C-alpha cells in the first residue's frame, strides 16, 4: 500500500471505531454522564454486575442464541443435503426463492409479519399473551435457516458425489455413508453456518423487538428500553466487556488461521 492509501484506510478505521472508543472511555467515567468525562472510576462495572435485570437478559440472550443456532444448523443442513440432490426445476428454484425471503426482506417487515402470524394464532387459541420465548425462538430459527443452508450448499457442490456412492458400494448404509463421508467434507460449511446463526441471533434487535413479549427480554431489547431514557455508563461498561470478549475471540481465530496457513505453505 502506498502512503495516501494507508492514511485513507486509517481514517476509515478511525471512523468505524470512534463511537466504540467513546463508549469505552465513558464506561470509566466517575459521574453518570455520557457526554462529559469527569474522572476515572470502575464503579459502573460493579453497578453492572449487580444489575439483576441485565444479567438475566444476558443469560436469556445466550440461551436463545444457542438454541436457535443448534436447531437451525440441524434443520438447515438436512435441508441443504436434500436440496442438493433435487433436480433443477421450478420447484427447486421456488424453494430457493422462499429461502431468500428472510434475507432480502427488511428486518422490520420480517418482524411484523411474524408478529401478525403469532397474534392471529394467539387469538385463535384464545391466548392474548402469546409473545414470549417460544415465539422469539421460532423467529430466530427462521432468520438463521437461510444462512445455514447457503453456507452448506456450496460445500456440497464441491464434494464428489461418487465418494458417498463408493462408501455405499463398500457396504455402508446411506445414513452411515453420510456421517462418515459427506459430513466431514461439508463440516467447514456447517460450522460457518452455525457461527453465523449464533452471532445473528445474539445481535438481533429488530426482529426480536416485534416477536417477544414482556416475559422474555434479550440484551438488545433491554438496551433499547434503557436508551429510551438517558443511558447510564453501565450500558457502556457492558458493551466494553462484550467488545473485549469478541476482540479476544477474533484474535484467537486469526492466529489459528495464520498458523494453519503457514503450515500449508511449508507443506507445499
Residues 84-103 within binding reach of another protein (CB under 8 A): 84-86, 93, 95-96, 98-103
145 binds another protein (CB under 8 A): yes
62 binds another protein (CB under 8 A): no
**CB atoms < 10 A from the CB of 81, how many?**
17
Binding segment for another protein (CB under 8 A), chosen from 9-17, 43-51, 62-70, 124-132, is 9-17
138 binds another protein (CB under 8 A): yes
Q: Which DSSP letter does residue 29 get?
A: B
C-alpha–C-alpha distance, residues 113 and 210, integer Å: 9
198 binds another protein (CB under 8 A): no
Give the shortest CB-135-to-another protein separation in angstroms.
10
10 to 39, contacts with another protein by CB under 8 A? 12-13, 15-20, 22-23, 26, 34-36
Give the shortest CB-180-to-another protein separation in angstroms.
13
User: Taking a C-beta distance cutoff of 8 angstroms, is the pair 189, 154 a contact?
Assistant: yes
156 to 195, contacts with another protein by CB under 8 A? 164-165, 168, 174-175, 178
Member of 248, 257, 259, 260 binding another protein (CB under 8 A): 257
C-alpha–C-alpha distance, residues 60 and 137, integer Å: 11
83 binds another protein (CB under 8 A): yes
241 binds another protein (CB under 8 A): no
Number of residues written out for the chain: 268
Specify the residue for cell string 420480517.
110
What are the backbone angles phi and psi of residue 147, rounded to the nearest 5°?
Answer: -65, -40
Q: Which DSSP letter does residue 179 get?
A: I
* Burial readout 131-155 (b: 16 or more C-beta within 10 A, e: otherwise): bebebbbebbbbbbbbbbbbbbbeb
Binding segment for another protein (CB under 8 A), chosen from 45-53, 62-70, 146-154, 183-191, is 146-154
Member of 47, 49, 63, 81 binding another protein (CB under 8 A): 81
Binding segment for another protein (CB under 8 A), chosen from 42-50, 52-60, 125-133, 222-230, is 222-230
Give the shortest CB-223-to-another protein separation in angstroms.
5
C-alpha–C-alpha distance, residues 121 and 127, integer Å: 8
Query: 73: burial class by Cβ within 10 Å (0-12, 13-18, 19+)?
Result: buried
Amino acid at each position: 500500500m502506498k502512503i495516501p492509501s494507508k492514511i485513507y484506510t486509517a481514517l476509515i478505521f478511525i471512523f468505524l471505531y470512534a463511537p466504540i472508543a467513546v463508549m469505552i472511555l465513558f464506561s470509566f467515567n466517575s459521574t453518570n454522564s455520557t457526554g462529559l468525562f469527569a474522572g476515572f472510576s470502575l464503579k459502573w462495572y460493579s453497578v453492572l454486575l449487580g444489575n439483576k435485570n441485565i444479567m438475566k437478559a444476558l443469560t436469556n440472550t445466550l440461551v436463545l442464541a444457542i438454541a436457535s443456532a443448534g436447531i437451525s444448523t440441524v434443520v438447515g443442513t438436512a435441508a441443504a443435503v436434500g436440496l442438493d440432490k433435487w433436480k433443477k426445476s421450478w420447484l427447486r428454484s421456488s424453494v430457493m426463492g422462499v429461502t431468500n425471503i428472510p434475507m432480502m426482506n427488511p428486518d422490520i417487515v420480517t418482524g411484523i409479519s411474524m408478529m401478525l402470524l403469532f397474534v392471529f394464532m394467539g387469538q385463535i387459541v384464545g391466548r392474548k399473551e402469546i409473545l414470549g420465548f417460544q415465539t422469539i425462538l421460532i423467529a430466530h430459527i427462521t432468520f438463521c435457516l437461510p444462512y445455514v443452508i447457503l453456507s452448506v450448499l456450496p460445500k456440497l457442490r464441491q464434494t464428489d458425489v461418487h465418494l458417498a456412492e463408493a462408501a455405499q458400494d463398500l457396504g455402508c448404509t446411506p445414513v452411515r455413508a453420510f456421517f462418515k463421508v459427506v459430513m466431514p467434507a461439508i463440516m467447514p460449511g456447517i460450522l460457518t453456518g452455525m457461527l453465523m446463526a449464533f452471532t445473528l441471533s445474539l445481535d438481533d434487535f429488530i426482529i426480536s423487538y416485534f416477536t417477544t413479549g414482556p416475559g422474555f427480554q434479550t440484551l438488545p431489547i433491554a438496551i433499547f428500553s434503557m436508551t429510551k431514557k438517558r443511558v447510564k455508563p453501565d450500558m457502556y461498561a457492558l458493551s466494553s466487556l462484550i467488545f473485549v470478549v469478541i476482540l479476544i475471540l477474533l484474535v484467537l481465530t486469526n492466529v489459528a488461521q495464520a498458523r494453519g496457513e503457514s503450515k500449508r505453505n511449508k507443506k507445499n
